[in-house]
Amino acid sequence: MQYAAWLRRLDQAQVGPVVLLHGPEAFLIDEGLARLAAVVCPDPALLAMSREVLDTRDAGPEGIVRAAETLPWGAPRRLIVARGVEALGPKQAEPLIDYLAKPNPSTVLALPVAQPLAPSHWLCKAVPGDQIVEVPELTGRALAGWLRSRAAADGLELADDAAQLLITLVGEDPAALAGEVLKAAIGGGADNRRVGVAEVRAVVGEHRSREVFELTRAIEQKDATVALPLLERLLAGGEEPLRILAILSGQVRRQAPAGAPVRLARCWQAERRLKLGGPPRPELVLLVADLCRA
């Protein structure tokens, strides 16, 4: 079952006694578990008594089964979240496999796995097919679509170009993106429900400051794999190339390590080329790569 279809079932309070959530997006899995808890335990006052989170390394399969077979108290159902079951071998998992064949109807046993599972994995064979939820990887257009849908669920209207700009500036971390949508909405006013490019750009300054700092730190650590994507995001967000260059030159001057004169001369060379009309992006990419190697 696809993740979105499972969420629609939750909205209709359709919950089976077992659910296996597997896929690469841990944030989506945790969000799904939170929504599942709200359906199984709608009274927040009873949540602490109705939900139990177990680590398979500590509880073992027998402990998970004992918890799942425990009858609820004060609420119609219990929610058991068992993490790490995918690490069990089929032989170790036999008590759990037996339970999955005939689960306790007063318990919802959730099995979150933050990685895709092959159909041959014992979990995919033991859990009924209609209770296996495939959590998607969010990237590109799919990420933008998810972000807009999530904003809509929060009562916000997120414009498509604003979603794309956020992804460019913040990166592809769903948790960070979700938080920035709310910040952008609040920045537009207490009653604002629409997030457009203007609202996004209003929170860009904070991101730029942080990413400029991270860029200089990555260069200091000679980590081009971190520095170059940061540079790309700063340029895509509208940061002035000459300002970036001035910050990098200032960093070289302040550090004054061995080889600083050569690094500073390289910054001056890039500045001269930019002022003569050189293309900003290639010049800065080459400069950052050189500074990381120097």
Tens digit of pLDDT for each residue in 23-40?
999 999 999 999 999 999
How many angstroms separate the CA atoms of 115 and 86, rounded? 9
pLDDT at 75: 81
How many angstroms separate the CA atoms of 30 and 7, rounded? 13
What's the rounded mean pLDDT across residues 138-143? 82
Q: Output the six-digit token pair for 260.
A: 């600083």
- CA dihedral over 182, 188, 193, 196, signed as positive or negative: negative
pLDDT at 188: 65
* Secondary structure tally for the chain: helices H, strands E: 15, 7
- Identify the band that residue 207 occupies on the pLDDT scale cut at 50, 70 and 90: low
How many angstroms separate the CA atoms of 288 and 275, rounded? 18
Residue 206's H or E segment, with its range, is helix 204-220
Maximal CA-CA distance, the chain: 76
What's the rounded mean pLDDT across residues 209-230? 88
pLDDT at 218: 92
pLDDT tens for each residue of 90-119: 999 999 999 999 999 999 999 999 999 999
- Identify the band that residue 145 occupies on the pLDDT scale cut at 50, 70 and 90: confident
What's the rounded mean pLDDT across residues 139-160? 86
pLDDT at 118: 94
Closest CA to 219 of 113, 118, 134, 293: 293
Whether the predicted pLDDT of 258 surpasses 70: no
Percent residues over pLDDT 70 in the chain: 95
How many angstroms separate the CA atoms of 168 and 232, rounded? 9
Q: Which residue has the higher pLDDT, 257 or 179?
A: 179
pLDDT at 227: 93
Q: What DSSP string runs through 64-111?
A: HHHHHHSPPSSSS-EEEEEE-GGGS-TTTTHHHHHHHHS--TTEEEEE
> What's the chain's Rg over C-alpha atoms?
25
pLDDT at 30: 92
pLDDT at 162: 86
How many angstroms separate the CA atoms of 126 and 51, rounded? 23
pLDDT at 114: 92
pLDDT tens for each residue of 226-244: 999 999 888 877 788 888 8
Q: Side by side, which strands form the sheet with 51-55?
A: 51-55, 78-83, 107-113, 18-22, 132-134
Closest CA to 32 of 95, 118, 106, 111: 111
pTM: 0.66
pLDDT tens for each residue of 158-205: 888 888 888 877 777 888 888 888 888 877 666 767 888 888 877 766
How many angstroms separate the CA atoms of 213 and 56, rounded? 40
pLDDT tens for each residue of 55-98: 999 999 999 999 999 998 878 899 999 999 999 999 999 999 99
Q: Which domains does the chain have, with CATH numbers?
A: 3-134 (3.40.50.300), 141-202 (1.10.8.60), 205-293 (1.20.272)
Name the amino acid, one letter, at 9. R
